[in-house]
Amino acid sequence: MRPRPLCIENPEHDRYVSLVPDGDIEEILSKQRTKTISLLSGVSEESAGKAYAPGKWTLKEVVGHMTDSERVMSYRMLAIARNESEPLPAMEQDQYVSAANFNKLSWEQLLAGLDAVRANTLSLISTIDDEAWVRSGTVMNSPVSVDIIAYGIAGHELHHLNVIRDKYL
């Protein structure tokens, strides 16, 4: 069982971790994977290519961002779990989305990518032992532990699902 982190000093991490219910993070991430793909599978290709307002991301870009963010956060989890001593860089989300050209990809391809990344995240978490689970490293000049990153992955997705339900669906 991988319980919720007890102390979250950085408000940027807490804003996502606080969205995640208590429970085992592997189970939460696994259930979230199924629910998210099920919800988004009902969206048409045409609807996925639309933004809810001028200057906002399309739904394709939101899902691409969710996928890229989880990739980055999983790498951070891996690096810290494996005792990386160097600080890890930030991710400029708008730069990533702009460079990715997500709107040129099919909705099916984007959902498959999101699903595959979550499968890889779950696989990684299964390899992290108890000692490494609470190990800390530095991300964006701030200390963060592996467990906080894992809960942050779930919370980041919950944040975007709330926006998707409210603004896109």
Report how many domains make up the chain.
1
Tell whether 107 is covered by a domain: yes
Establish if 4 belongs to a structural domain: no
pLDDT of residue 108: 98
Would you say residue 126 lies in a domain?
yes
Tell me whether residue 132 is in a domain.
yes
* Sign, Cα dihedral of 107, 113, 119, 122: negative
Distance CA 30, CA 10 (A): 26
18 Cβ neighbours under 8 A, 6+ residues apart: 8, 155
The sign of the dihedral angle between the CA atoms of 154, 156, 162, 165 is negative
**What is the rounded distance in angstroms from the CA atom of residue 39 to the CA atom of residue 49?**
16
pTM: 0.94
Domain assignment of residue 34, yes or no: yes
Tell whether 15 is covered by a domain: no
Average pLDDT over residues 143-150: 94
Q: Is the Cβ–Cβ distance between 26 and 122 less than 8 Å?
A: yes
Domain membership flag for residue 38: yes
- The 10s digit of each residue's pLDDT in 32-77 is 999 999 999 999 999 999 999 999 999 999 999 999 999 999 999 9
pLDDT at 6: 67
Closest listed residue to residue 80, CA positions, set 139, 37, 161: 139
Say if residue 151's pLDDT is above 80.
Answer: yes
The CATH number of the domain holding residue 95 is 1.20.120.450
What secondary structure letter does DSSP report for 145? E
Q: Which domain holds residue 65?
A: 20-168
* Domain-located, residue 66: yes
